[in-house]
Structure 1
């Protein structure tokens, strides 16, 4: 177990601040969803009893509210005690930390622009086999001659929307250059348009079976909780009925769908847009997904077919089971931070 120090007084002053996910799990787990994580981490009141420190809120929160001096004060206090400080960047775009000597956890970002101590971490969500798909309905897929690739989500040929998406990125990037925004610049990318382009290619290929539901808007434009649940059921049912799931980044350079696919025991086909994946030195991602490198997007169909055709039924079943186990053992909030616990304990972080 690791003894963790954080700034509880600062949390009390700003109860609505965006918290580091682990701090939220340790302090605000009213539904007892993260009891297991407390086997690995224990909060302590005194910095002298700590082995590691966590900045309690995201860098986005400190910078948005002009509280970076509070972050620096906490970091300096911890560094004076020779403690490693773990911090967090949230959101699709992210911000640049004011301190370079801390560890930074982040979903999004670009591999080529990775910070020295940046750690990619997965998206966290409810277990789909506990909340959306009956385990009796979730079967290991049988390998057929044609690979079945699924997708449910926002994908549209609407050029006006694509222009608006790129225009918004240009506007935000300009605001950053002019010092009017702290949100980091992004590559020009119209995700719904690009998804549509790739999905249509898959649909046209005679040796690939597709299971695709196009949405004009995110979550089909629904706003009520009941409707959100309905679209989420449809989303996971599509995964359940597919071998592979198409994955391409959204507004941020990462894909929540990628981790949801792993959780469902299905195989992601990831269009790599300079993405960071979690624990790349520990997880051999080549054994769990089809990753289409930048510049090789034209090989998507060929790579999918070669991957599928080179597997026996046994190996096809094994990768499905291995992906579900990977999510359980490495990519939930508890299991991911259990691995981080081990890295810190072994002085490998």
Structure 2
């Protein structure tokens, strides 16, 4: 049982969307798992961990009294770790020896040991969208790789992405998020997908969109197409977006498919507990075709089916919101 201290003044309906993810399940959606593993306390003397209750990026944008830093300093006088959550695509590096920052992405070579990567907490598309049961895909002679999403190689698209980058990093001087170099994700995807399409040894299943989640089209139809594409593809092409992480990576896992993740120096969640080489294929931009063909030929059908089942189980056992924080709590309690 992890005893959690937080500021209860923030635990209201107005902060529901910005709440620290674990507190969402403790406060708004309590269930047997949270009750068995976590307990809120008003005493810093009793607490095992102190959690700042809301997303610190959203908070810093309107923190005119330096409340966050004062709260950290107050709590840090007690011999307990402090957890903060930096939401959004880019995250925030909080420099304090007692503070662990939970964030969605970042660059592994730049993140400190006090930065923990959270998975994207995705719901089960089989239940929510497809209304069907999970099944494994048999091995075929050619690796079958799928993708549906924003992939546009035009100069106009590049300019739009650069203007967004310029606004966030140059014009918006009050933006507290970490700086990320310009990365034209849509153009990168387009180029790599076209490269794959030209190789006759690979079976591709690609649908190119001009906007994220095809927001200019029928959302129900395109959402179904998105998840049907993953369902029908043994491998799923995954490349970062604005931030250095891929939501599609976790969608492929929960659907029991094998993510082909383009290496962009990203850190993955729970790297000390999860052997990620057993769940995905991480490739470089320059060798994606060779790496995919080599991997596919090295695996038997039984191994590929087992990998699909293990990927789906991984999300239900470790990468959903509650169980992820149970893993983090267990790690913390073992250190005491």
TM-score normalised over the length of structure 2: 0.93
Partner of 2:288: 300
Task: Give the distance between the partners of 1:37 and 1:67, measured in 2 at CA.
Answer: 34
Q: Alpha-carbon deviations, 1:25-66, whole Å to 9, x = none?
A: 11122xx6x542332111122323221111101110221012
Gaps of 5+ in 2: none
Residue 268 of structure 2 is aligned to residue 268 of structure 1:
no
Aligned residue among 219, 226, 246 for 2:237:
246
Aligned residue among 23, 31, 36 for 1:39:
36
CA contact 1:17–1:61 (8 Å) conserved in 2: no
Call closer, same or farther: CA 1:38–1:62 in 2, change over 3 Å.
Answer: same
Partner of 2:221: 230
SS at match of 1:212: strand
Partner of 1:8: 8
What is the root-mean-square deviation in Å for CA atoms of aligned residues?
A: 2.1
Call closer, same or farther: CA 1:180–1:54 in 2, change over 3 Å.
Answer: closer
Aligned residue among 281, 284, 293 for 2:275:
284
Residue 118 of structure 2 is aligned to residue 121 of structure 1:
yes
Task: Give the distance between the partners of 2:61 and 2:94, measured in 1 at CA.
Answer: 12
Task: Give the distance between the partners of 1:327 and 1:14, measured in 2 at CA.
Answer: 29
Task: Give the distance between the partners of 2:123 and 2:334, measured in 1 at CA.
Answer: 30
Aligned residue among 319, 329, 332 for 1:341:
329
Task: Give the distance between the partners of 2:239 and 2:178, measured in 1 at CA.
Answer: 20
Task: Give the distance between the partners of 2:53 and 2:240, measured in 1 at CA.
Answer: 28
CA contact 1:68–1:98 (8 Å) conserved in 2: no
CA contact 2:238–2:262 (8 Å) conserved in 1: yes
Call closer, same or farther: CA 1:196–1:13 in 2, change over 3 Å.
Answer: closer
Partner of 2:210: 216
Residue 98 of structure 2 is aligned to residue 101 of structure 1:
yes
CA contact 1:11–1:17 (8 Å) conserved in 2: no
Call closer, same or farther: CA 1:68–1:126 in 2, change over 3 Å.
Answer: farther
Aligned residue among 71, 84, 100 for 2:68:
71
SS at match of 2:230: helix
Runs of 4+ in 1 over 4 A off after TM superposition: none
Call closer, same or farther: CA 1:45–1:228 in 2, change over 3 Å.
Answer: farther
CA contact 1:267–1:288 (8 Å) conserved in 2: yes
Structure 1 residue 98: Cα displacement = 6.0
Structure 1 residue 68: Cα displacement = 6.6
Gaps of 5+ in 1: none
